[in-house]
Amino acid sequence: MAMLQRFPMDIPFGWFFVSYSDELAIGNVKPVHYFGRDQVLFRTEEGEAGMLDAYCPHLGAHMGHGGKVEGNKLRCPFHSWAFRPDGFCVDIPYAKAIPPITKREPIARPYPVVEKNGVVWAWYHPERVEPLFDVIEHAPFSEAGWAQPIRRFWSFASNPQEIAENGVDFAHFQYVHMMEAVPEGNTVYDGHVRRSEAHGQRTVKLPDGVEKVIPSSVQTIQNGAGQKFTQLRGVVTLSLMVLATPVEADQVELRFCFTYPEMEEGSPEHQAVMMAIANTCGQSGVEGDIPIWNHKIHRVRPLLCDGDGPILRFRRYFEQFYVEGDTPRQIAAV
Ligand code: FES
Ligand SMILES: [Fe+2]
């Protein structure tokens, strides 16, 4: 039976969240499933995080189920072959001569991994091209003076492009989120990075009844298909990492990771921050979008009108994260 393909694009390449750093302790070995494949995620005794395709190149055991870390290697639970995070097999305990290929190349497929901003990022590319750019470090998630991050998680049937496009879909803010569009402000497209910065003012009523005009700003940085950072300044300062990881071409895990300047818990300022986080997650935020994303299709040639945001410009930017032949435009032309 033919399935309706809701999204004409494949999984984009980029750096994607695969774990929080503090959820992968030394010696941990975990089965994960991202990018349409099964993997094993682990942390060596030297502290290095590694991610390999799950199935052992020997006789196919899933190394995420029973594999063990030993020194800087992961040992398969079946016949104890040992693999480094770079995918090289470095020990076969019962063999007198280990196959020469193990000296020449990684026999387990490795994923390049980096840790920044408290996140373990894996590089995915459908043709196994090495990383084409770096993960960007964000001071609020890597420096002192910021609160312990607050994390949220959702899983649904969509993909990173649909989620990213939402930010430039101005018309939906009024109807999904019951709020005025967030103006795009100044946007700069610079290769794989898109930056935007919008400035405005908010009038707030202080507890003593006095109204005060407070300058506000929203700054966003999109770095490839899997890394987005937003910083709000105004009544509160709030930093957010939007972490979208493809599970399959049409299934995604979405994480929000928030932090804010350290402050006294329960203070009025802290309550305002908690309110801003609730709004970013609730109907006025991502939970307003999820029911739409979960069921919509991707229209390659949408009928747009004035009042719609710069959606096609954003798509031209995002297209660079697909290998040739996988872009929505080309597939739709078939
Ligand atoms: S299947 Fe992994 S060592 Fe044999
Ligand atoms: Fe939205």
Cβ of 181 closer than 6 Å to ligand 1, yes or no, is: no
Q: What is the pLDDT of residues 13-59, one digit of tens each?
A: 999 999 999 999 999 999 999 999 999 999 999 999 999 999 999 99
Cα→Cα distances 118→135, 160, 221, 259, 319, Å: 12, 21, 17, 12, 28
CA dihedral 141, 146, 152, 155 (to 10 degrees): -10
The answer to whether 261 and 235 are in contact (CB under 8 A) is no
The alpha carbon of 144 and the centre of ligand 1 are apart by a number of angstroms equal to 44
Write down the residue that tokens 């040739």 correspond to.
Answer: 324
Beta carbons within 8 Å of 178's beta carbon, 6+ residues apart: 283, 284
Distances (CA, A) of 182 to 158, 192, 256, 286: 23, 23, 19, 14
Q: Is the distance from the beta carbon of residue 139 to the nearest atom of ligand 1 less than 6 Å?
A: no
Catalogue the E-assigned strands of 132-191. Answer: 150-156, 186-190
145-to-149, 175, 218 alpha-carbon distances in Å: 12, 37, 20
Max CA distance (Å), the chain: 82
Ligand 1 within 6 A of CB of 68: no
Of 161, 100, 134, 111, which is closest to residue 328 (Cα–Cα)? Answer: 161
Work out the percent of the chain whose per-residue pLDDT is above 70.
Answer: 94
Is any atom of ligand 1 closer than 6 Å to the C-beta of 59? yes
pLDDT tens for each residue of 115-124 = 999 999 999 9
Q: How confident is the model at residue 2 (pLDDT cuts 50, 70, 90)?
A: very low
Span 88-104, pLDDT tens digits: 999 999 999 999 999 99
Q: Which of 29, 70, 74, 81 to mutate to test the pocket of ligand 1 (most atoms within 8 A of CB)?
A: 81
Please compute the mean of the pLDDT values over residues 133-139 and round it to a whole number: 98
Closest C-alpha among 258, 259, 262 to residue 281: 258
Q: State the Cα–Cα distance between residues 334 and 323, nearest whole angstrom.
A: 16
For ligand 1, is residue 81 a contact (CB within 6 Å)? Answer: yes
- Whether 35 and 151 have beta carbons less than 8 Å apart is answered as no
Q: Does the beta carbon of 76 lie inside 6 Å of ligand 1? A: yes
pLDDT band, very low/low/confident/very high, at 214 (cuts 50, 70, 90): confident
Average pLDDT, the chain: 93
Nearest CA to ligand 1 atom 4: 79
- Dihedral over alpha carbons 292, 297, 300, 301 (to 10 degrees): -70
Q: Can you say how many angstroms the Cα of residue 221 is from the centroid of all Cα atoms in its chain?
A: 13
